[in-house]
Amino acid sequence: MVTSDTVAPGEEGLYLRLLRDAADAVAGAGTLDEALAVTVDLVAERLGFDVCSVYLSDERAGDLVLAATHGLRREAIGQVRMRPGEGLTGHVAEGEQALFTSRADEHPRFKFFPETGEERFRSFGGVPLVRRGRCVGVLTVQTVREYRFPANEVVALQTLAGQVVSLIDVKRRLAPAGAGRAAPGTPARGLLVGLGTSPGVGLGRVAALGVDPLRAPPPPRAFAGADEEVARFARARDAAARELEAFAAQIEGEHGAAAAAIIRVHEELLRDPALEERVRARVVERQEPAEHAVYQAVEEVVELLSGAGAAKVREKADDFRDARAQLLRALGIAGGPTALDAGDGGVVLLAEVLTPAQTAHLDPARVVAIVTQHGSETSHASILARSLGIPAVVAIPDLVASVAQGERLLVDGDNGFVFQDPAPQIEAEYCRRGEAARAAAGVVAAELAARAPAGPRVAGVELLANVGLPHELGAAREHGAAGIGLLRTEFFFLQQHAWPTVKEQVAFYRRALQAAPQGPVVVRLLDAGGDKTLPYAPAHDEPNPILGLRSVRFLLSQPEVARAQVEALVEAAAVEQADVRVLVPLVTAGWELRAVRELLEEASAARGVPPRPLGMMVEAPSVLYQLEHLLPLADFVSLGTNDLTQYLLAVDRDNELVRQYYSPYHPAVLRALDWLQARLAADGRRPSVCGEMAGDPLGALALLALGYRTLSVRPRAVQPVRCLVHCVDEAALPALRAEVLAAPTPADVERVLRRALRQAAPFLLDA
């Protein structure tokens, strides 16, 4: 609804701004009551509703209670109660289903609550607030006149409800309801909200990272002549490269090859001929000293990258800055990431931006968490933080101005929350949360142990593991996976500083096969390009890399690279006598499978062994319409639900502007999966599902209902999904399939699945 004081709903970004502003406002509120009041005010004022209210569940009484309102009588807060199913709000809570009507009084479930003063409001909209599979409240809106809610407002309110319930949940921990508001004029403090990129919880005092001298232009210096300055640059480059290689070797020994690979990327950048040419040109043509030429040459590259549209490309700017810092240090400029070694144990490192080299220098025994003003989940700093096991929250607006040196912070890297000067009850709550998580895992293990003797209730289910990092292979074995359904090889390639040789690849694959659990090992060929760029691969300026030269297209554009990987896989499988199967990513045409098959047959014949089985990944919707031509070319089929969902819905799941449209529970996705399963079964195929959907209890339940019986999941999800298989009644799955396929929206699908999971295995909602 729009008034003269609101922005038209069609204006781009209105709802996204509402979501961000609601998060910021709730984060700044002092108590739960204040947070709820801020939320309803924002929704009503921004979208022009006469009423916005929040009702929360009273778990002890089993009632819904009016907790906050904009537009109803404020004295009704805390007084109006209703049972689930009572009135329209109770109806939304009972069915866990949104309801929007322009004539509320004509709805059969309508009930008038006179104490609220709502007799003059005609339209009604209600969205359930669902947390961990349970309805914990309802967000409602009302208008005086009859109002037909446009579809974009319905979607916005449903999206907002998910964010509101998460913030309400954490606000309950931050300050108990009714604890009182802050004194007038007191700045709101307590909670900062960002993006959690490395899991875990860290508590410590802030050590703020100041401006690195190596980020600023070097001090003036006399020009010593072109030949001497170029020679100084060459000596510094060689010295910096040796230092980086030594540091990478140290990091690899302490934290593994994944962390060391990012440092080796910087070494490769130092030897970039284009960078050398830029430096030489500035020295010769502008007569700049070497350090000034280095600084400005890299600054030009950084400005180009920082202005690029893709976050992945912009983040490469930090790699160049780190490489420059190494060069400047070798040229005699003091400063750099070694300054991070100072400080006492138990510190939370705060920075505007943290580069990969700075992150790699951190000691996990002393730095308990990282918080930054900028960053993303896929940045190298975030990847390194996960490798080091340091909790991290990034992308916190105005962080540097909001937090003081020495201040105590509790960092929740799972949810992206940062508590300032946390009260004892907050610390205690997080201790309880850790205990609750361990208890939930214990419940799953106990339930599985109790049900195991009777055997699974869904027959013929095979659980495999998805792995990418070496330590995940041991975890897959530990959690009882029946094999590896997806071994991602791109991370190995990302760890290299040049195209790996056949010998290097054979050594890696043999180590992986030795560490893997007994059973088949499905190895996906290099899935590079798109959002996974290799620093040593040919660069391509692509406006839309997700639809560009990626996956098998990229691999086959580098024939020698493809041949080397296939030869290495054949060699490793033969030596280890392992059941290795080769998987081709993002197949869109038959010639791609034939091209890989030719490489397999050629490599196998050279070694005198039978060719390995060849499979195709179903990720592109085009595969659905040419199965009769593609299936004869593949020995097995794997479904990648992440990309299939992305392409079916035309949603880049890493784009925050449209991320809310991405859902594997979209009816189009489920109907495509249902049709595909039936078609493959008719052909005698048993496909494996290896997307993230399979590792979530709701997603796994949907896949079981659709007839899938081979699921490949992250190692830690093997036990919960196995427990699900022991709890769900196979006889109930056909009816569940019919319900799921009939559901008109993703929210309806999830509601159906939550209800079924609560009946079969409610404890898995907390797993």
Report residue 360's pLDDT band, with 50, 70 and 90 as the boundaries. low
Structural contact between residues 53 and 212, judged by C-beta atoms closer than 8 angstroms: no
CA angle 497, 298, 232 (to 5 degrees): 85
> Could you tell me the pTM of the whole model?
0.63
Scored b (16 or more CB within 10 A) or e, 19-54 reads beebbbbbbbbbbbbbbbbbbbbbbbebbbbbbbbb
Angle between helices 424-451 and 151-174 (to 10 degrees): 110
Q: What percent of the chain has pLDDT over 90?
A: 38
Confidence category of residue 84, pLDDT binned at 50, 70, 90? confident
Residues near 27 by Cβ (< 8 Å), separated by ≥ 6? 167, 190, 191, 192, 193
Give the Cα separation of 369 and 711 in Å (integer). 34
Q: What is the pLDDT of residue 338?
A: 38
Burial class (CB in 10 A: 0-12, 13-18, 19+), 671: middle
Question: Picking from 182-186, 319-323, 463-467, which range would have the lowest pLDDT averaged per residue?
Answer: 182-186
Give me the domains of the chain, ranges plus CATH numbers.
14-179 (3.30.450.40), 193-210+343-421 (3.50.30.10), 224-333 (1.10.274.10), 458-679 (3.20.20.60)
Query: Rounded CA gap, 230 and 164, in Å?
Result: 58
Number of neighbouring beta carbons within 10 Å of residue 106: 9
Instruction: Compare 439 and 38 and report the one with higher pLDDT.
Output: 38
- Per mean pLDDT, which range of 46-55, 352-361, 444-453 is the poorest? 352-361
For residues 678 and 707, give the distance between their C-alpha atoms in angstroms, rounded to a whole number: 8
Q: How far apart are CA 267 and CA 568, in angstroms?
A: 26
- 3 state DSSP class of 368: strand
The Cα–Cα gap between 523 and 506 comes to 13
Q: What is the pLDDT of residue 328?
A: 81
Q: How far apart are CA 402 and CA 192, in angstroms?
A: 9
- pLDDT band (50, 70, 90) for residue 443: confident
CA distance 620 to 614: 18
Cβ neighbours, 10 Å, residue 751: 21
CA 202 to chain centre: 20
H-only helix segments in 608-732: 627-630, 641-649, 667-682, 697-705, 718-727
Report whether 145 contacts 121 (CB < 8 A): no
**CB–CB of 657/685 below 8 Å?**
no
Does the annotation count 666 as an active-site position?
no
Reported in sequence order, the residue ranges of 96-188 that DSSP labels E, i.e. its strands, are: 99-101, 123-131, 134-143
How far apart CA 380 and CA 360 sit, in angstroms, is 10
Can you tell me the mean pLDDT for 54-82?
91
Q: How many Cβ atoms sit within 10 Å of the Cβ of residue 156?
A: 22
Cβ contact 535:270 at 8 Å? no
The active-site residue out of 292, 361, 374, 380 is 380
Distances in Å between the Cα of 39 and the Cα atoms of 8, 32, 52, 118, 153 are 20, 11, 9, 20, 16
Q: Coil, helix or strand for 96?
A: coil
What are the C-alpha distances in Å from 382 to residues 71, 358, 373?
44, 12, 13
Q: Where are the alpha helices (DSSP H) in 1-150?
A: 14-28, 32-47, 87-95
Task: Identify the residue with better confidence: 203 or 672.
Answer: 672
Structure tokens at 557: 């554009």
Measure the CA–CA gap between 601 and 591, rounded to whole angstroms: 15
Q: Please, which pLDDT band fits residue 10 given cuts at 50, 70 and 90?
A: very low
Q: Token pair of 463, please?
A: 């659980």
Q: Which of 52, 70, 135, 690 is catalytic?
A: 690
Q: Are 642 and 653 in contact (CB under 8 A)?
A: yes
- Count of CA atoms in the C-beta half-sphere (13 A) of 202: 29
Q: In this predicted structure, what is the pLDDT of residue 139?
A: 95
What is the residue-averaged pLDDT of the chain?
82
Q: What is the mean pLDDT of residues 221-237?
A: 85
Q: Exposed, middle or buried: residue 465 (CB in 10 Å: 0-12, 13-18, 19+)?
A: buried
Alpha helices, DSSP H only, in 96-210? 151-174
64 vs 440: CA distance, rounded Å: 27
The verdict on whether 723 is a catalytic residue reads: no
Higher pLDDT, 284 or 249: 284
Q: What is the pLDDT of residues 550-604, one digit of tens each?
A: 889 999 999 999 999 999 999 999 999 999 999 999 999 999 999 999 999 999 9
pLDDT digits (tens, 9 = 90+) for 455-502: 889 999 999 999 876 767 888 898 899 999 999 888 788 767 789 999
Cα–Cα distance between 596 and 544 in angstroms, integer?
26
Q: Looking at the DSSP assignment, which residues form a beta bridge with residue 436? A: none
pLDDT of residue 14 exceeding 80:
no
How far is residue 89's CA from residue 748's CA, in Å, rounded to a whole number? 17
